[in-house]
Structure formats: C-alpha cells, structure tokens
Amino acid sequence: MFHLLLSLMTITLVGCNNENKILTFPDGFLIGAASSAYQVEGAWNVDDKGISNWDHFVHHNPERIVDGSNADVTTDSYHRHEEDVNILSDLGVDHYRFSMSWSRILPKGHSGYVSKSALRYYHSLLDELDAKGIIPFVTIYHWDHPQSLEEAGGWLNDNMPQWFEDYARVIFQNFAHRVKYFVTLNELNIYCTMAYRRAEHPPAIKLNGTGDYQCLHNQLKAHALAYHVYDEEFRKEFNGQLGITTLCFGHFSKDTIDLASEDLAYEFECGWPSHPIFSETGDYPEVMKKQVALRSKAQGYKTSRLPVFSEDWVARIKGTSDFFGLNYYSSRIVKRLSTSSRINWPNDEGLEYTMDPKWVSAQRTKNNIQSKVILQLILKVVPEGLGKVLRKIREKYNNPTVYITENGVSSSSGKNDDERINYLRSHLKVILSAVNDGCNIKGYTYWSLLDSYEWEAGFTAQFGLMHVDFNDANRTRTPKKSVHWLKNVISTRKLFL
C-alpha cells in the first residue's frame, strides 16, 4: 500500500506539474542533435576506408534489412558535412553528437596504420563546428568496427577490449586537444542484444543467454581500458569528460503495481551495463547474478552463463565514467511469469514484455507492411517512462551527471510533423520536471538531425528533424515543422506547454 501510494504520488507530480505554464531550462543546459557514422556518412569505400561489419552484413544479407537497402551513400554526410553544420548552426544547437568510424580511421583494423584522409575528414568537420561555436560530442564507437575484427570473433574475442583501447588512444592522440566530450561506446546493451540475442544485427548469431553476456562483458572491459587511457595519458593536459551511453526503456508492471518486477526489468536491461560502472559496489546487479546462476543451474550448466569479473576488473570498471549518457525512446509493460514456466522462457529475468494498447505511436503502419521488425521499431510515445528511468538513475547511482544522448521518434507525417513536436514537448517537460526534482541532468540531444539509415529498418523509420530526399542525388535536406519549433525552444531557453 505504501508503495502504491508512493507510485501514484510520483505520477501525479509528473502529470500535473506546471500545466499551462512555461518551463525554463537551467543555465548551462546543452541542447543538441545527434547522428552516427554508419547511418549518415556514406562514402563506404572512398580513399582507404576499410570494410566495416555493417558494410559486410548489409551487402551480403540485404534480406535482413526491411527495405533491402544499405548505407553506402545514405545522407552522404561525408561529402555534405558543411551543409549539415550550417543546418545545426541555423537550428542554434549547443552541441552535435556524432561518431567516428573505426574502419575509416584504422582501415587495417590495427593502430599501426592510421588513415590520413579519415583524420582530415574529422578535422574538417570539427573545424566547421568550431567556426559556428558548436560543441562536439564524439562517440568513439557507435556499432561499426572493421570487418577484419569481426572475422576474428568481434566482441566475443577477448582481445577486442585491447583492440578498442588501441583505437581509442588514436582518437585521443588526434582529437583530445579539441574535443571535450567523449562517449566511449553507444548502447552496449542494445548492441549485444541485437547481435547475439535477437540475431538481427551483425554478426546475427543466436547465442541468447551466453553470447549476449560475453559481448557486453568485453564491451565493459573495453570501455574501462579506454577510460583509463584517457585518465592516465590525456586528462591532465586536456581536461575533458568521458562517458558511456546506455539505452533504457521505462518499465511499468501489468495489472497491479509490482515494483519488484519493474526493478528486475530495469536491472536486466539498464543496470546490466550501468551497475558495474556507476554503483558503489561495482560488478553486475546482485539480482542478475543470482537469477542467471539459478537458471543456468536448472538448465544443467556447470557454472553461471553470466561471466564473472575478477576483483581486479570490478575495481577497474567501477567509477569509469564522468557522466551517464542516457538514450530513451519508449517503455514496456512487464509481467512476471510463474516460477514453473520460467525455465524454458527465452529470458533469464522471467518477465514477459508487452505494450499498453492505450499508448499511441507517432508512426502509423502502412497497410502493406506486416514486418515484425517494423512493428517492433515503431515506438510507443510514453514520456512518463523517461521520468521513471531518470529517477532510478538518480536513486541507484547517487545522482550522477546525466546527458540525454538520444531521444526521438519516427513519424509518418512527412514535413508537417506535429507528432514529433508533441513528442519533443512531452519529453522535454518530463526532463525539466526531473531537473526540478533534483536530477542532475545537464543536456538533451535529439535523435536525429537528419532522416537517416536506421539499421535493420533501412530508410523506413525516419527520426530526422530534417527531411532528406533519398531519391535525389543531392540528398536535399528540407526542414520539417519541428525544426522551427525546436529552434524557438533553443533560442528562448523556454518550453511553452
């Protein structure tokens, strides 16, 4: 009952706070937009660029992509970055989050050969951002790595953390003097889930309950190694900030308010990479270690399928982030299964995930689209889920600095995107309420600046503030209605509800 009341109270606070009012962004709050290398650069084979895992995957398995497309050209930002920066400048953003391509910078996969043309490209993008006073937020790794490393086992190879460390050092050596915000890895929990649990992203190998855990285990080590490299070799001179970005859904329990199930869902998704870095004790969440061990045993495994960190690694990973990069898009309903039905269930947490039929989507399905992938990609708009996640992060990790590194929605309304404006308004409102509640949120990054290549959805899910005409050789960019709306928010630093 106490919990029930507490929950209702939180909802009321979020729900009726400042209705019909104007909310103001705190001083120094950064507002920006995001992209990632594979999704926007194109130029997949120019100069000496190496083949990436994504180049290889989409060229060999076009049937795995909803519209059979690839990102060989996509928005062609490699050749049109000047135009992109002008768009950012016109929008008035404080920062631009983009990623660097591992296979462009290290075409051979190892740091013994660094591509001069790749360095020239990123310096030229940084020059343009500098000229417009836009702060670069550089993601070192946003899912694309050299195919040669994939062939060696990719994130299942225990050498991958070392290879990542070498790559990160090259990035710091070349860019730390002009980039003050780095994100090491993007959404490691989603990367490992899509690659090895759902097997929809390269290398698309179904190893649920083993490969997914090993993948994230190695990504956490990779992150920590890169963090220590920065700390030991670059921080003193350049004094930047290094963080990691995790995607977290909001979780609501079905029927009754079952906070334990909501928390279980949180720990198995968001806590999985976050607890080892941000909690006081480090290592994976207790509940996760316990539950995977129990189920592994029941399935006949000799040891837990969840890999174990040595004490040394727990200590090396703990505290390795100057900020929590949060990507939030949507929420799910969770329901706990009975103990007896858990053993053959696809997941270790023993939860069933569904959507609330009352939640609306910004993107409507076309009658001819039956694809399961598409249906899963169409996001339900649940701003209150973001408030939930922000408060969990505050409570669990002693109120760390949070940058929202992604938040956005795909829509089917073309350039007249009122749905996107509503999504932005409702999510920014929740963020400002959380700030008023004491959450230490320092920035917001809309995903994405341009309509772009959305992985397995190809060009069928468009998140851009800017419309891109993919049938036109010039990839003409045109502002949607939301550009004008967001521009006003940024220039006034106010949110009109």
Ligand X SMILES: *[C@@H]1O[C@H](CO)[C@@H](O)[C@H](O)[C@H]1NC(C)=O
The residues carrying an active-site annotation are: 187, 406
DSSP 349: T
Q: Closest CB to ligand X among 20 and 344?
A: 344
> Exposed e or buried b for every residue in 306-323, given b needs 16+ CB within 10 A?
bbebeeebeebbbebbbb
The CB density around residue 119, as the number of other CB atoms within 10 Å, is: 17
Task: Evaluate whether 401 touches 28 at the Cβ level (below 8 Å).
Answer: no
**Rounded least distance, CB 346 to ligand X, Å:** 4
Q: Minimum Å distance from CB 207 to ligand X?
A: 9
Q: Which residues contact 408 (CB under 8 A, 6 or more apart)?
A: 329, 420, 423, 446, 447, 448, 463
Give the total of residues touching ligand X (CB under 6 A): 7
Please report how many Cα atoms fall inside a 13 Å half-sphere around the Cα of residue 106, on the Cβ side. Answer: 23
Residue from 344, 367, 368, 370 that binds ligand X (CB under 6 A)?
344
For residues 260, 263, 268, 274, the Cα torsion angle rounded to the nearest 10 degrees is: -150
Q: How far is the CB of 476 from ligand X (least distance, A)?
A: 6
Residue 472 binding ligand X, by CB under 6 A = yes
- By CB under 6 A, the residues from 186 to 225 that bind ligand X are 208-209
Q: Which residue has the tokens 């006949």?
A: 300
Task: Pick between residue 120 and residue 297 the one whose CB is nearest to ligand X.
Answer: 297
Contact between 229 and 165 (Cβ < 8 Å): yes
Type of residue found at 479? P
Q: Compute the least distance from the CB of residue 341 to ligand X, in Å.
A: 12
Residue 1 or 473: the one with the smaller Cβ distance to ligand X is: 473
Nearer to ligand X, 208 or 412 (CB): 208
**By the rule CB under 6 A, 86 interacts with ligand X:** no
Number of other residues whose CB lies within 10 A of the CB of residue 45: 11
Tell me whether residue 85 or residue 100 sits nearer to ligand X (CB atom): 85
Of all residues in this chain, which one has the CB nearest to ligand X in the complex? Answer: 209
Instruction: Give min distance, CB of 193 to ligand X, in A.
Output: 12
Cis before 448 (ω within 30): yes
Which one of the spans 175-183, 366-374, 397-405, 468-476 is the region binding ligand X (CB under 6 A)? 468-476
Beta strands in 381-451 (DSSP E): 402-406, 441-447
Site string for ligand X, 376-395 (x = CB under 6 A): --------------------
Considering the rule CB under 6 A, would residue 474 count as an interface residue with ligand X? yes
311 binds ligand X (CB under 6 A): no
Binding footprint of ligand X on the chain (CB under 6 A)? 208-209, 344, 346, 472, 474, 476
